[in-house]
Amino acid sequence: MAKVNEITKDTWLRAMFPEWGTYLNELIEDEVVKPNTVALWWTGCMGFWLKTDQNTNIAVDLWFGSGKRTTKTANMLPGHQMANMSGGRLQQPNLRVQPHVLDPFEVKKLDAVVATHYHADHMDIYFAAAVLQNIKEPIPFIGPQESVDLWIKWGVPKERCIVVKPGDVIKVKDVEIVALDSFDRTCLVTTNGYEPLAGTIPDMDQKAVNYLFKTSGGNIYDAADSHYSISFAEHGKKHKVDVCFGAFGENPVGIADKQTSVDLLRMAEALRAKVLIPLHYDIWANFMSDPKEILAIYDMKKDVLQYQFTPFIWQVGGKYTYPTDANLREYHHRRGFEDCFEEEQNIPFKSML
């Protein structure tokens, strides 16, 4: 047993961080995906892990950073998307709410790193370093131009990076990754330092993409940080979408960054999806929202609009298997104690409990 005089801040951090240790790493490694299904794990924010029945593993928008860590910084950085959007300058209180559920330096099997865009909560230098250090195969880093530029700036070899734009198709083993138009208008008002944007036409295709991951178990559409767009209907007509992810959250006054509950229902309907899964609402203290709002409005509208999809409310660190879980509405982590009464109880007397 350790003694208090042996404990330091460093020993505390090493013993307690990341909060889940390698628990989720082990669950993902040990998962044997059944034929004609696809397994997904939510790692927080818009990050998710995809694993197929052919043992293909793809990490999308994994992020191992933090939000605000001190009150001492008074203002946002010049060019920050929220400063540009709102005309505000005060520090936004975007504290990270969720724990780190995956250990990036204990990832042992991976076939591709994928980014939708270059915002700080969708790309991660720690994960890039862990992949380069620990994954023996020269797996690709896939993303739009701005994401690739950032990876290269961090030191990821240029030859490992693949730039995608809408319409491009990348094959990673048995998974076909289709890059599609992004509708992330927050990305359009992000600048590198202050740059006047009035009268300019930023190039979305350089900054962000949406993706469709085609697998033998179903097609997963990642809208990432896209706002609602009528062009979701075009994607839904041109592509078969089984599960769609969208960024949900309660936008503060003066901000239009996340999709609302109504936006997400419209998105799922337009995409002709079978399952809608909201993400992103979990991570920032100042954007948190109750996803059961989506269920409530869905129940109000599903009959009159004859919705052909089901919403699913996930939990960070949880697994979702499609199509096995297609009819579920809410997730709960494993509750345990399946082996109760298989051994003799150790209690004073039976009527105690």
Long-range contacts of 228-235 (CB under 8 A, 24+ apart): 228/183, 228/259, 228/263, 228/266, 228/267, 229/181, 229/183, 230/270, 231/181, 231/183, 232/183, 232/266, 232/267, 232/270, 232/271, 233/270, 233/271, 235/180, 235/181, 235/210, 235/270, 235/271
pLDDT reported for residue 2:
83
Number of domains forming the structure of the chain = 1
Q: Residue 343 domain-assigned? A: no
The owner of tokens 């979990």 is 282
Between CA 214 and CA 112 the distance in angstroms is 14
The H or E element containing residue 112 is: strand 112-114
Residue 220 pLDDT: 99
Identify the segments of the chain with pLDDT beneath 70. none
Residue 131 covered by a domain: yes
210-249: burial string, b at 16+ Cβ within 10 Å, e else: bbbbbbebbbbbbbbbbbbbeebeebbeeeebbbbbbbbb
**In this structure, is residue 4 part of a structural domain?**
no
Domain of residue 187, CATH code: 3.60.15.10
pTM greater than 0.85 (yes/no): yes
Instruction: State residue 242's pLDDT score.
Output: 99
User: Rounded to a whole number, what is the distance in angstroms from the first to the last CA of the chain?
Assistant: 33
CA distance 230 to 240: 17
Residue 333 belongs to a domain:
no
Name the residue range of residue 229's domain: 38-64+99-320
CB 246 within 8 A of CB 264: yes
Distance (Å, whole) CA 211 – CA 58: 13
Q: How far is CA 296 from the centre of its chain?
A: 23
Q: Is the preceding peptide bond at 311 cis, omega within 30 degrees of 0?
A: no
In a domain, 91, yes or no: no
* pLDDT at residue 1, rounded to an integer: 77
> What is the structure's pLDDT at 268?
99
Look at residue 78 and tell me if it is in a domain.
no
Residue 115 included in any domain: yes
- Residue keyed to tokens 């030859």: 159
Q: Examine residue 32 and state whether it is found in any structural domain, yes or no.
A: no
Residue 166: its pLDDT value, please?
A: 98
CA–CA gap between residue 209 and residue 115 (Å, rounded):
9
